[in-house]
Structure 1
Amino acid sequence: MEVNTRSSDASSSSGNNNRGEYIVSDGVRLQDSCSYCKSAGRTSIFHGSWADSLTVDDYQDLLDRGWRRAGSVLYKPEMEKTCCPSYTIRLRASDFVPSKEQQRVSRRMQRFVDGALEVKKSVEAIEDPSICANACNEISSLGTGTKETSSVSKKEKNMGDHITDYLSEQVNKVIWTCRESGQIPFSVQLPKASVKKVSQSKTKLLVEGAENLMYSSNIAFQIAATIRQAQSIAKDASQSAEDNPLSPKIISEKIAASLDQLVKINGLSIRACNGHINFYTAATQTSPNKDSHTATSSQESAIGRKGCSLRNSSVHPHGKRRRLEIHLKRSSFDPEEFALYKRYQINVHNDTPDDVSESSYRMFLVDTPLLPVQPSGDDRVPPCGFGSFHQQYVIDGHLVAVGVIDILPKCLSSKYFFWDPDFAYLSLGKYSALQEIGWVKENEVYCPSLQYYYLGYYIHSCSKMRYKAAYRPSELLCPLRYQWIPFELAKPLLDEKSYVVLSDYVLLQNGESSQPLVSGNVMEVQDDGNSNDVLIDDDDKMIEPELESSDDDCLEAFGQASAEIENGDVSDNLIG
């Protein structure tokens, strides 16, 4: 494979001529299934190259030509051919105007730090794992014999909602254990369990002894159906549903048998019944009378008043402040970061443990070809220098989120963001974007050319990517002329067609047709590239950064790096 090298003594639009040279291997054209539109064919088309070394100035120029990087792989979509054209999007930090929702995210974090925000108990459980168990014990001690009334308080409803969330999480953990032990086929992508509260009006219609039934899950039926479907596709289903060794009844019994520890901790009685997994109170199996119901109602109200709701109970009832720190470190492997990343991928993106390997994590989020630039003397660089970094968000010494970023002569380019699922209610994806925009504003003083915040790729046809345009006023890169076009002018064009020459917006301003000025044959000469890079997301609206399988596929296609990149000696900088 031919290797191209060029000294950065050549002129660069970024303006620095003494930052080394780049070594980039000629790339290949790759096609894969699309993780955005979920097309069945290999409709995602991109061009990729392997970078052994790359100066920050040259990578800045590549960004401004529609390229991105995943580890040491450079890639760019073939815009006129790929199914989901991906436009580079950026924002001038000094022009940024936060929306009301973005302002609410900042205020919510401030209330959390001040100890004034009522939050999920899962945060407190980090400090005291017995909290969830104690809450479940109180709930399970309640009687459940009569119909719920319309006067149930909001706090009581929240309490019940989060007991079901807690139970669902425990069932999912048991399912994973069964998969790892081989009791359930590991190759099958299983649905997530959902435990529901049983209406008391229904318990009267059930068999005797069901009066104390509080929660139930039908996950065993879903797992059995998934396995049957997989067998049918593979043409291996040699047994009928009735003879299937993994029928709903057997699966539910396996799960219930593995939940013994949950019974001991929370005082719940758990039984498998005709494929259902049922949770009963620890009370005796007799029908409660009117007096017992009255006691139950008052007990539930008391629990609500005491703030035992898993969602709304205050972590800091006495207003104790929390310490939020944001550390900026050169890109390197950190076991604590990898543990958080693995938990995030499994809980948020439903990856299996085998999908989240240390090697794939290193290749995607640690390895970098960017040659680090240290701050020195007359160099107009920020105090941290240029290069690849990990931005750690630490609350009271606990790592809760990591932003993977590149700091370049003209911008902060956001690559990926992962966070602790227990802190989802803080909208850490949105909060990190606001922090990164603020960082650019602060460091423009040291480096006047550093003015922009790059949000990666924007795909107008993908609803999950639309959130990037909420950071206003943003610009999209024209895929043919490489001019930056205001999003508000480009949007009408993208509403009509997924791939357009955005600089043709002049036609719209003149009231003419929106057909491209350049013919399709001329469009064919533009550079090739890769289309699968995803960035910062958000928790509230499912817009957190997503690790698409194509990123890993791209890395595997180019193999392991041949040399380790020197990351410099920047120390642990506390920047917030």
Structure 2
Amino acid sequence: MLAYRRLCLIIYCAAHCPINLAGMWANSLKADDYQALLDRGWRRSGCFLYKPEMERTCCPSYTIRLKANDFICSKEHGRVLKKMQRFLDGELDPQVGSPQRKASPTKRSLSEPSNSPTSKVSKVSANEFQEATCPNFLKEDEFICCLSSKINEAIDTYFQGVILGSTVQLPKAVVKTVKPQVKKKVGEAMQKNKAGVQDLVYTCNISFQIVAAVRRALPKEKSANQTEVLADLSPNSVAEKLVMTMERLGGLAGFEVKACNGHLNFYSAANPAMQNHTGAVVPVQASDKTSRSKQSSVNKISAKHPQKRKSLEIRMSTSHFDPEEFALYRKYQTKVHKEKTITESSYRRFLVDTPIVFVPPKSGDNTVPPCGFGSFHQQYRIDGKLVAVGVVDILPKCLSSKYLFWDPDLAFLSLGKYTALKEIDWVKTTHEHCPSLQYYYLGYYIHSCNKMRYKAAYRPSELLCPVRYE
């Protein structure tokens, strides 16, 4: 090895200041030796090994790792996994966008119901909503999404003519399932309610959010019209007006909506909906004629948008040049990082060349994983198409994530987070065959760099002490 010092500019530095690195070239390196270097704060770029000099930098770079079996999946990570599954199941349309609401300048008091037809911004019409509730088994998250869209339609319709000002951005509704313990508390307060608390299924507190958003946005010195609006503005009044608007727009099939202390509560009408073992909502069948008519409508919709399942395949191979991978890398660097000149030689130096000597697996040897030790490329393919490549090093104690590039056309899938979760799962699985391999190394963590904050979300992570190296 030939060691030397150099001064370079690191792109992650928030202050764009130079960071001193200790560096050396390596032609051949054992997996155990590189593992030891990782645990001393070193990393590699191709065959070049480097380590930030912590005492001479304004943005300290700490080695960060995660013990895979202790990993706690966050809600955000769960959403990423569900989104990918929906995409593979053919249920996610990447072209669908979120509607944006804009206040109309037409004068109308909050106490006056809207006479306008259904909102043009709405994604789900009344008929479409009723048809959507007809299939015998509807996934609960999709059903809740339909309820939220219905409330958003009522919000857009009702507030279309209310003078709120251009600075007011109305929030979007989020419908939640009523938990059993909440039903019990509500039941104690509503024992005399003939409707029966056991029929309460969903609730939404959007009225409180609307009132808060309007009060924050309106200026201290209000006009007469704005003063009139605020006089009628309360969660209770907003909830009541939204219920009236939803009824005028066609109501909800199988549900009764009521305003209760500012909340929108959804009751199953005469117990028409029950939960099956999968958590799906099963509405009671209407008359045969009505049922056949609605089912026919659903079949027509399904015929227009047939669901086609996609297959995801993850392939692992030792580090080598692949023209298909290079084409994806060039597309990624051009569109995501705005690089103009990308050569094959620079790609090879960065992601193909490696000094780590490959160690093949041995039958009956649990000290080496089934893939062996060395540098690898993990290919993610959907229906055979290459969509992401993770460049990793498999070492005695860890999987070290070096770099990832993905198809910019699939940015909505959060492939960076998804592949990290799959790499963590890989470590968990491999740990059963190779007990020493139990960590997931995420590279460097720089707290002042927004681009690296995501690494702290993989909990509980550990930062390497630059003094004691523990």
Give the alignment's TM-score, normalised by structure 2.
Answer: 0.56
> Deviation digits for residues 303-346 of structure 1, max 9, x if unmatched?
xxxxxxxxxx9999211100110000110000000000000000
Question: How far apart, CA to CA, are the structure 2 residues paired with 1:150 and 1:55?
Answer: 68
Given the superposition, is the C-alpha separation of residues 315 and 65 from structure 1 closer, same or farther in structure 2, using an over 3 Å criterion? farther
CA distance in 1, matches of 2:306, 2:81: 22
Aligned equivalent of 1:105, options 63, 66, 80: 80
Which position in structure 1 is the counterpart of 2:373? 386
1:461 aligns with: 448
Match of 2:203 in 1: none
Q: Deviations over 1:3-48 (max 9, x none)?
A: xxxxxxxxxxxxxxxxxxxxx22x211112332235455x211010
- Measured at CA, do residues 49 and 114 of structure 1 come closer, stay the same or move farther in structure 2, by a change above 3 Å? same
Partners of 1:80 and 1:314 in 2: CA distance = 63
What residue in structure 1 maps to residue 39 of structure 2?
64
**Which residue number in structure 2 is paired with residue 120 of structure 1?**
95
Q: How does 1:218-257 map to 2 (within 5 A)?
A: none
Query: What is the alpha-carbon distance in structure 2 between the residues aligned to residue 322 and residue 397 of structure 1?
Result: 10
Distance 1:83 1:393 in 2: 37
Question: Could you say if the C-alpha distance between residues 115 and 48 of structure 1 is closer, same or farther in structure 2, counting changes exceeding 3 Å?
Answer: same
C-alpha displacement at 1:115, in angstroms?
1.2
> Secondary structure of 2:120's partner?
coil
Of 51, 66, 71, which residue of structure 2 is paired with 1:76?
51
Partner residue of 1:328 out of 316, 339, 357: 316
1:479 to 463, 466, 470: 466
Structure 2 partner of 1:269: none
1:318–1:150 CA distance, 2 compared to 1 (3 A): closer
The AA in structure 2 aligned to 1:36 is Y
Q: Quick check: 1:89–1:457 contact (8 Å CA) kept in 2? A: yes
- Residue 374 of structure 1 pairs with residue 360 of structure 2: yes
SS at match of 1:441: helix
Contact 1:440 1:451 in 2 (8 A): yes
- Indicate if the aligned counterparts of 1:116 and 1:316 stay in contact, CA closer than 8 A: no
8 Å contact from structure 1 (residues 46, 82) kept in 2: no
Alignment partners' CA distance in 2, 1:69 and 1:413? 11
SS in 2 for 1:80: helix
For residue 120 of structure 2, the aligned residue among 152, 159, 165 is 152
Looking at structure 2, the residues matched to 348 and 482 of structure 1 have their Cα atoms a distance apart, in angstroms, of: 35
Question: Are residues 72 and 321 of structure 1, via their aligned partners in 2, closer, same or farther at CA, if it must alter by over 3 Å?
Answer: same
Aligned residue type for 1:337: E
Q: Distance between the aligned counterparts of 1:150 and 1:358, measured in 2?
A: 56
Q: What does residue 90 of structure 1 align with?
A: 65
Change (3 A) 1:400 1:414: same
Q: Counterpart amino acid of 1:436?
A: E
CA contact (8 A) 1:33 1:39 kept: no
C-alpha contact (below 8 Å) 1:119/1:314 kept by paired residues = no
1:120 positional shift: 3.0
Q: Take 2:30 and 2:387, find their aligned partners in 1: how far apart are those partners?
A: 31
What is the percent sequence identity of the aligned residues? 64
Instruction: Report the Cα distance in structure 2 between the residues aligned to 1:314 and 1:66, rounded to whole angstroms.
Output: 55
Task: Give the aligned residue type for 2:121.
Answer: S
Q: 1:153 is aligned with what amino acid?
A: V
- Does the Cα contact within 8 Å between 1:118 and 1:315 map onto a contact in 2? no
Structure 2 matches for 1:120-269, cutoff 5 A? 120=95, 151-154=119-122
Q: Aligned partner of 1:94: which letter?
A: N
Q: Partner of 1:54 in structure 2?
A: 29
- Matches of residues 177-576 of structure 1 in structure 2 within 5 Å? 317-352=305-340, 354=341, 356-379=342-365, 380-483=367-470
Match of 1:124 in 2: none
Distance 1:88 1:40, change over 3 A: closer
CA contact (8 A) 1:49 1:74 kept: yes
1:118, 1:314 within 8 Å by CA — same for their partners in 2? no
Q: Please give the alpha-carbon distance, in whole angstroms, between the structure 2 residues aligned to 1:120 and 1:315.
A: 19
Which structure has the larger Rg over C-alpha atoms?
2
- Deviation per CA, 1:543-576, whole angstroms, max 9, x where unpaired? xxxxxxxxxxxxxxxxxxxxxxxxxxxxxxxxxx
CA drift at 1:464: 1.6
For the 8 Å contact 2:14–2:448, the answer to whether it is kept is no
SS at structure 2 position matched to 1:52: coil
Q: Does the C-alpha gap of structure 1 residues 314 and 52 become closer, same or farther in structure 2, counting only changes over 3 Å?
A: farther
Cα distance change of structure 1 residues 326 and 479 upon mapping to structure 2, 3 Å threshold: same
Deviation at 1:378, TM superposition (A): 4.2
Does residue 29 of structure 1 match 2:5? Answer: yes
Q: Which runs of 5+ in 2 are unaligned?
A: 97-116, 125-300
1:342-361 deviations in Å (ceiling 9; x for gaps): 00000011111x2x110000
- Hey, what's the Cα distance between the residues in 2 that align with 1:438 and 1:477? 23
Contact 2:325 2:389 in 1 (8 A): yes
Aligned partners of 1:368, 1:410: CA distance in 2, in Å? 18
* Counterpart Cα distance in 1 of 2:118 and 2:345: 54
Deviating above 6 A after TM superposition, structure 1's stretches of 4 or more consecutive aligned residues are 313-316
Residue 445 (structure 1) shift:
1.1
Residue 314 to residue 34, structure 1, CA distance change in 2 (3 Å): farther
Letter in 2 for 1:434: L
Shift of 1:426: 0.6
Residue identity in the other structure for 2:351: L
Deviation per CA, 1:80-107: give whole Å up to 9, x if none: 1022110000000000010000011111
Structure 1: gaps (5+ residues): 1-23, 122-148, 157-312, 484-576
1:438 maps to amino acid: D
Separation of aligned partners in 2, 1:89 and 1:154: 45
